[in-house]
Amino acid sequence: MQASFSAVGEFLRAHQSFTILSHIRPDGDAYGSTLGLGLCLRAMGKSVTLYNEDGLTSRFTYLPGCETVAATPAVAPSRETQIIAVDTAEMSRLGKTFMGWRRTPDLNIDHHVSNPLYGQLNVVVSDSPATAEVLYEIMRANDLPITPEVAANLFIGLSTDTGSFRYRSTTTRSFEVAAALSAAGADPATLAQHAYLSYPASRFRLLRLLLQTTEFLAEDRVCSCTLTPAMYAEAGSCTDDTEGLIEYMLMTESVEVAVMFEEMASGGVRVSLRSRGRIDVQKIASLFGGGGHKAAAGIRTSLPFDSFRSELLDKIVAAVRQ
């Protein structure tokens, strides 16, 4: 069952101690939501710990408060500590260490349509482009403190999950929220410098290798590319550097669906899917146990790479030709 914004406000006011977690391989919305809510609760005088499986990754060290994000510790917090999951479509995506706690989140705030409402309280707004936007609405509805640091973090969540306000999921409301966050102290130009113009050279080297693997299918309407562990080594790069690389595949006019395969060093395959808009890639991902949104979805699988790859590409080609 979904909770109202006011029920969430009551929950946040009623408790004193919180742990906020987001998904593995956190993106801008995961960090922005974790920190936005965390700093808001601290401004209310609450004690808050902020975790994810990976801890703080180097790309996000500009976010206000980021030094208080840590890798999930093996030992679960006390029973009095309320656990909040943000931006995480499935409980298992909170990470292995969290799953070892054997706790269920008390509150689950998200915007993924596939979220099965695994929390005790759930606010899943699937027509919202970012969890950060959902959090802004919750804070506004309950008159919670939106400090400049809270605003900056929520702005980054909203800006990154909307592709700088370019994706179809961006609404009139998103611009209103962005304006309100900007008025509350988020500086869009400074944040954009950090978020979009501060990549390490290793990421560019990885992109160069990735572009060499691109393949066009179905009359250039599908673009596929593959990352391997060897490429990370050659580029002097790490998995942090992959975020956003798939966007390059959608910059060609004819391409309707972009797909990036990532062979994991640990075994298994991770797939990112992007759609220009007509094709619902969440539907395709769900055929292989994946999830996400209509325009952006993902799959993780341990199926053998070659057969899985050709099966998935067949489905995508069939979808664009329909």
**From 90-98, 124-132, 203-211, 279-287, span contacting Mn ion (CB under 5 A):** 124-132
133-162 residues near Mn ion, rule: CB under 5 A: 161
Distance CA(206)–CA(192), nearest Å, equals 22
In angstroms, give the least distance from the CB of 28 to Mn ion.
8
Nearest CA-CA partner of 236 in 212, 200, 262 = 200
Query: Rule CB under 5 A: which of 158-187 touch Mn ion?
Result: 161
Tell me the number of residues near Mn ion by CB under 5 A.
4
SS3 18: strand
**Which CB, 28 or 64, lies closer to Mn ion?**
28
Contact 40, 151 (CB under 8 A): no
C-beta closer to Mn ion: residue 87 or 241: 87
The least CB distance from residue 199 to Mn ion, in Å, is 20
Using CB under 5 A as the criterion, what x/- string covers residues 10-29 for binding Mn ion?
Answer: -------------------x
DSSP 8-state secondary structure symbol assigned to residue 7: H
Binding region for Mn ion (CB under 5 A) out of 56-64, 84-92, 139-147, 266-274: 84-92
In the bound state, the residue with its beta carbon closest to Mn ion is 29
| Min separation Cβ 131 and Mn ion, Å | 5
CA dist., res. 72 & res. 74, Å (int): 7
Segment 27 to 46, residues that bind Mn ion, using CB under 5 A = 29
**161 vs 262 by CB, closer to Mn ion:** 161
Where helices occur in 186-257 by DSSP H, the ranges are 188-196, 201-211, 229-235
Measured from the CB of residue 173, what is the shortest distance to Mn ion in angstroms? Answer: 16
**256 is an interface residue for Mn ion by CB under 5 A:** no
Shortest distance (Å) from residue 308 CB to Mn ion: 26
Coil, strand or helix at 216:
strand
Burial 121-151, CB ≥16 within 10 A → b, else e:
bbbbbeebbbbbbbbbbbbeebebebbebbb
Choose which of 53, 87, 133, 262 interacts with Mn ion (CB under 5 A).
87
Shortest spacing between CB 289 and Mn ion, in angstroms: 20
> Left, alpha or beta for 71 (phi > 0: left; psi -120 to 50: alpha)?
beta
What's the half-sphere exposure (Cβ side, CA atoms, 13 Å) at 236?
A: 5
The site for Mn ion (CB under 5 A) is made up of: 29, 87, 131, 161
